[in-house]
Amino acid sequence: MTATPLALTVANLLLRPGFGSRRTPDRTFDRLVAAAGQADGDQRFVADFRFLLRHWAKEENLTPVGWLSAQAHVRRHLTNRARIRRLIAEHPAIEQEPVERPVFVVGLPRTATTLTHGVLSLSAGHRCPRLWELLTPDLDPTPEQRRRAIAAARRMVGGIDLFAPGFRDIHPLLAEGPDECTFALPHTVMPLSQARIPGYRAWHYERDFVPDYQHLKQVFQVLQYGRPGPRRRWVLKSPMHLENLDALRTVFPDATIVWTHRDPVAVVASFCSLVEHGMAITVRPLDLHGIGATWLELLSRSMRRGLAARAAIPREALVDVPYSWLGSDPATGAPKLYEAIGARWTASDAARLPEITARPSGSRPHSYDLARYGLTRAAVESAFTPYDALRAQVERL
């Protein structure tokens, strides 16, 4: 890692006076839930986030910016949940909104899930949620509400770019670009990319995720309800879905699963690098070998669960996408992808393909090394042996 950006150093100094609230996380949480509001029957939802914040606060190397980030994460989910529950109470027909035949792009992170999602977003018949919508899901906004929501998303992206300039070279975020369900799902492993939270990880392993996906469906029903024009097919994405395909399919039984594939040796090294850049904002000092051990376990566990759930997915509802389809020859791979999900690839889509596949202006190539995180090729290959057998079949497609 390069030296800590000056902006991050200054922010930590300015936030230090409030850092002591980390010692009383329940009091901090009470303030957050009082500001967000709470719907009747949501005691379990709220209690789960109290548990998360309580354990997040125990990270001994958390920085003031890291503590603020933890609170912001919890506040956003509490606020969005309260708003969605209020909207459903006011408009019960929201829960009758059909989310028909959605497409979910899944796979390990760094397997071109973002690129695949972006390519699928080109179709006029597809509806991909924008980052600003996922951060602030609401009914069809007025121009002023839309402006404020987009501005808030831009501030979040701007903060990441300011505090971790290398992050955008690895995973650029755009306030108005299509983004992933991770921002709307109540609980995923992503807090573990911001801090070491062993209590939350153990809790996460035992969690029933069906209620999380029921909430996710309500998010899309809210974003769909009352909008003008014909209803479009939702195209959704998150690498975090891989570990919970059973829960996803319980809530979205007619979903098409688009599963992207890549060599896990490259995946683990690349993702550890991404985590390092993001965690450098929230934790100091970093434990690079700890990042490697944690994410090798989390990613291999996710794959094992994904492979177990895969057996129950009807063949016609599963599309395997080798990395080569879009990673090396998108002009050939994109039409194949559209055909596989039963969509029509048009000349208009083809004309816009370069804007999706091009690297962002000014970005630098991403380099990464397993050894930096205390890992070896042999260790990764051993952890992913069953998956590599499947990937060998997929690569022949």
Please name the residue that has the structure tokens 């690895």.
170
What's the whole-number mean pLDDT along residues 67-87?
97
Q: How confident is the model at residue 190 (pLDDT cuts 50, 70, 90)?
A: very high
Whole-number pLDDT of residue 360? 67
DSSP structure class, residue 195? S
What's the whole-number mean pLDDT along residues 277-291?
96
Q: Is residue 222 part of a domain?
A: yes
Q: Which of 32-36, 40-44, 179-183 has the lowest mean pLDDT?
A: 40-44
Q: Is residue 1 part of a domain?
A: no
From the list 198, 337, 323, 325, the residue with the least C-alpha distance to 267 is 323
Range of the domain at 383: 6-394
What CATH number does residue 44 fall under?
3.40.50.300
What's the whole-number mean pLDDT along residues 284-295?
97
Contacts of residue 76, defined as CB under 8 A and 6 or more positions apart, other chains included, come to 135
Whole-number pLDDT of residue 329? 86
Whole-number pLDDT of residue 10? 97
Q: Is residue 226 part of a domain?
A: yes
Structural domain count of the chain: 1
Tell me: pLDDT of 2 over 60.
no
Phi, psi of 175 (to 5 degrees): -55, -35
Q: What is the dihedral of CA 22, 188, 274, 286, to 10 degrees?
A: 30
Q: What one-character-per-residue DSSP string does 242-303 give? A: GGGHHHHHHH-TTPEEEEEE--HHHHHHHHHHHHHHHHTTTBSS--HHHHHHHHHHHHHHHH
What's the whole-number mean pLDDT along residues 37-63?
94
Q: Is residue 171 part of a domain?
A: yes
pTM: 0.95
Interstrand relation of 318-322 and 233-237 (parallel, antiparallel or unpaired): unpaired
Q: Is residue 306 part of a domain?
A: yes
Whole-number pLDDT of residue 397? 72
CB 26 within 8 A of CB 50: yes
From the list 82, 89, 90, the residue with the least C-alpha distance to 34 is 82
- Helix (H) or strand (E) holding 106, with range, is strand 103-106
Whole-number pLDDT of residue 38? 83
Q: Which of 35-49, 65-79, 106-120, 304-318 has the lowest mean pLDDT?
A: 35-49
What's the whole-number mean pLDDT along residues 356-370?
80
* Cα atoms in the Cβ-side hemisphere of radius 13 Å centred on 312: 14
pLDDT digits (tens, 9 = 90+) for 220-279: 999 999 998 899 999 999 999 999 999 999 999 999 999 999 999 999 999 999 999 999
Whole-number pLDDT of residue 362? 62
From the list 164, 169, 195, the residue with the least C-alpha distance to 69 is 195
Whole-number pLDDT of residue 363? 67
In one-letter notation, the amino acid at residue 361 is S
Please provide the average confidence, as pLDDT, over all residues in the chain.
Answer: 95
pLDDT digits (tens, 9 = 90+) for 342-351: 999 999 999 9
